[in-house]
Structure 1
Amino acid sequence: MDSLTQIVLGAAVGEAVLGKKVGNKAMLYGAIAGTIPDLDTFVGNFFDTITAIEIHRGFSHSIVFAVLFAPVFGWIISKIESNSSATWKNWSWLMFWGLFTHPLLDAHTTWGTQLFWPLDLRLAYKNIFVIDPLYTLPFLVFLIMSMRLKRSNPKRRKYNRLGLIISSVYLLMVTPALKFYTFQKFENALENQNISYERMDTRPTPLNSILWTANIETEDAFLIGNYSIFDSQPIEYYSVPKNYSLAKPIENDPNLERLKKISEGWYTFSENNGDLYFNDLRFGTMDIEDPDSEFIFSYKLTKEHGELTATETEKEMTDAKNLLPRLWARILGN
């Protein structure tokens, strides 16, 4: 999830664990704990693109990381807050829950997490977008309400608990129900249109859980369709050719195999001005209404010193600005 959401979650968890004893400092250190796992993005800057992708949401988003480093961070805080009534064990417990709930939340996104690292298993339930105001804003409001009260005030814990309950209900009940409902709609549409397929993957579109996208794999192409719960017209699918033949000269390259594994098989190739690109379909395109729009994650493949390298294509801020009005219009139904 985005940094703000992880800060809010970490702060709320910190308050739940230790707020009664140390007040707003529990929120502060909980917020810090909630941001620590994402420092892997900083570490990734010291590696090549493919390795950086593999590192992201790996070790730092695992149970192992939380267990190993919670006591370390707890000890550091206990030294900083040596005058506090909280003990090293108290701070360690707070840090553990802050570090652990971060990947638990990320597991519900499209990218997922390697919660059980070092096992080669990535959990990705794909029932919430990385930025979802319906999850974050109510959570944030209750956290601020709690923050403004004295630690001895019983309403402080009540407000914080309400924020945790409302956000958890939305994450664990509402969005999975919407995913199941929309999955059935996509499945029925494929059946009604006599489309045979190998597998299907669904996810919410940016900033909401109302409009969903489905990737459907067929023999030679991927079909992509969108469905809003406010739609009144049948689902239409557009086709994206796999173009696997474009990568024939490098089909056995180990770095290409790494990219294929990262994408979980949801990828296509494309050419532009003689350059070859690897497109990760799992995160969609820059414009859900334009079949020819660029994919959000696309990598230019080149050979450098005999080794295949991948360079992520840069996106302009104007691309996102153009997306939002069209996204909002599509959320409201077709």
Structure 2
Amino acid sequence: MDSLTQIVLGAAVGEAVLGKKVGNKAMLYGAIAGTIPDLDVLANYFFDTVTATELHRGFTHSIFFSVVFAPLFGALVSKIESRGPAGFKDWSWLMFWGMVTHPVLDAFTTWGTRLFWPFDLRLAFQSIFVIDPLYTLPFLVFLILAMREDRTSPKRRKWNGLGLVVSTSYLVLTLILKGVAYYKFDQALEAQNIPYVKMDTRPSPFNGVLWMANIDVGDAYLMGNYSFFDSRGISFESYPKNHQDLGDLAANGRVRRLIGITDGWYAIGRSDEGLLFNDLRFGLVSLDPGETQFAFSYLLKPRPDGDVEVVKLPRRKDDAKRLMAALWKRIWGN
């Protein structure tokens, strides 16, 4: 999830663990703990594109990381707050819960997280977009209400508890919505006599009303969207896989790792500069009919030494504007 959401969650968890004893400092350190796992973004400055992508939401987003580093951060905070009522165990417990709830929340997003690192298992329930105001804003309101109360006030625990209950309930609701959306896509495919190998569903950006699907039909992928306000049937557009276009590059270690990152949901395209590796998990940059640009694309540039350089393509400046306008219109039905 986005940084603001993780800060709010970390602060609320910190308050639940230690708020009664140390007041708003629990929220402060909880918020810090909630942002620590995202320090893995620093990998972008030290590693190549593929390695940095593999490391994202890996080690730092695991239970192992939280268990090992919570005592270290707890010791640091206990020294800083040595004159306060909380000790090493208290701060270590707060840091653990602040850090571990971060990847648990991330597991509900499309990218997912390797919560059980070092095991090669990525949890990705794909039921909530990385930014969802319906999750974050109510949570933030309850946190502010709790912050305004005295640390010993029952109202403080009440407001914070409500924030945790409401936000968690919303996560559960997104799983239900995902199940309904999956059923709708499956029924539409059956009605159109389209057999498929597998299907992957996810919410569209910033909401849980409009859902998108990738469908593997063999030599191509179908992509479609469904809003709970729709009055007409679901239509699908086809995108060829073109996996054969990789040629000898299919055996390259870097390309194989990129395929593993996408869990096989990729299509190959071409540009003036060379082959494009398109990650289908995050869909297209817009909802316009005939759109061919994907949100995440990588240029494959063969090198003289036989290896291949992978370059992540930047998004155009107007992509976000186009997407937001189309989303607002599409959410309300077809």
**Matched residue of 1:317: which SS?**
coil
Take 1:290 and 1:99, find their aligned partners in 2: how far apart are those partners? 42
Q: Which amino acid aligns with 1:223?
A: L
Q: Which amino acid aligns with 1:272?
A: S
Deviations 1:152-199 (A, max 9, x none): 211011000000000000002x10110011100000000000001100
Take 2:220 and 2:274, find their aligned partners in 1: how far apart are those partners? 21
Q: Are positions 1:187 and 2:186 aligned together?
A: yes
Take 1:236 and 1:299, find their aligned partners in 2: how far apart are those partners? 28
What is residue 79 of structure 1 aligned with on the other side?
79
What TM-score, normalized to structure 1? 0.98
Q: CA deviation at 1:4?
A: 0.4
**Matched residue of 1:179: which SS?**
helix
What is residue 298 of structure 1 aligned with on the other side?
297
Q: Which amino acid aligns with 1:266?
A: W
Take 2:290 and 2:47, find their aligned partners in 1: how far apart are those partners? 33
Report sequence identity in percent. 59
What is residue 119 of structure 1 aligned with on the other side?
119
Take 1:69 and 1:291, find their aligned partners in 2: how far apart are those partners? 48
**Matched residue of 1:12: which SS?**
helix
Deviations 1:201-255 (A, max 9, x none): 0000000000000000011100000000000010000000111121113121111
Deviations 1:41-91 (A, max 9, x none): 112320000000000000000000000000000000000001110010000
What is residue 147 of structure 2 aligned with on the other side?
147
**Matched residue of 1:296: which SS?**
strand
What is residue 287 of structure 1 aligned with on the other side?
286
Q: Greater shift after overlay, 39-48 or 223-232?
A: 39-48
What is residue 90 of structure 1 aligned with on the other side?
90
What is residue 106 of structure 1 aligned with on the other side?
106
> Is contact 1:287-1:293 (8 Å) kept?
no
What is residue 253 of structure 2 aligned with on the other side?
254
> Is contact 1:21-1:86 (8 Å) kept?
yes
Q: CA deviation at 1:274?
A: 4.7
> Is contact 1:44-1:55 (8 Å) kept?
no
Q: CA deviation at 1:113?
A: 0.5
Take 1:57 and 1:290, find their aligned partners in 2: how far apart are those partners? 33
Take 2:49 and 2:11, find their aligned partners in 1: how far apart are those partners? 32
Take 1:164 and 1:187, find their aligned partners in 2: how far apart are those partners? 33
Alignment of 1:1-334 (within 5 A): 1-172=1-172, 174-304=173-303, 305-334=305-334
Give aligned pairs, total.
333
Q: Greater shift after overlay, 288-297 or 232-241?
A: 288-297
Q: Greater shift after overlay, 298-307 or 50-59?
A: 298-307
> Is contact 1:14-1:26 (8 Å) kept?
yes
Q: CA deviation at 1:148?
A: 1.2
Q: Which amino acid aligns with 1:207?
A: F
> Is contact 1:110-1:283 (8 Å) kept?
yes
Take 2:292 and 2:162, find their aligned partners in 1: how far apart are those partners? 41
Take 2:72 and 2:194, find their aligned partners in 1: how far apart are those partners? 55
**Matched residue of 1:118: which SS?**
coil
Take 2:236 and 2:332, find their aligned partners in 1: how far apart are those partners? 19
Take 2:148 and 2:273, find their aligned partners in 1: how far apart are those partners? 59
> Is contact 1:213-1:224 (8 Å) kept?
yes
> Is contact 1:11-1:30 (8 Å) kept?
yes
5+ residue gaps, structure 2, are: none
5+ residue gaps, structure 1, are: none
Q: Greater shift after overlay, 272-281 or 5-14?
A: 272-281
Q: Which amino acid aligns with 2:248?
A: P
Q: Which amino acid aligns with 1:294?
A: Q
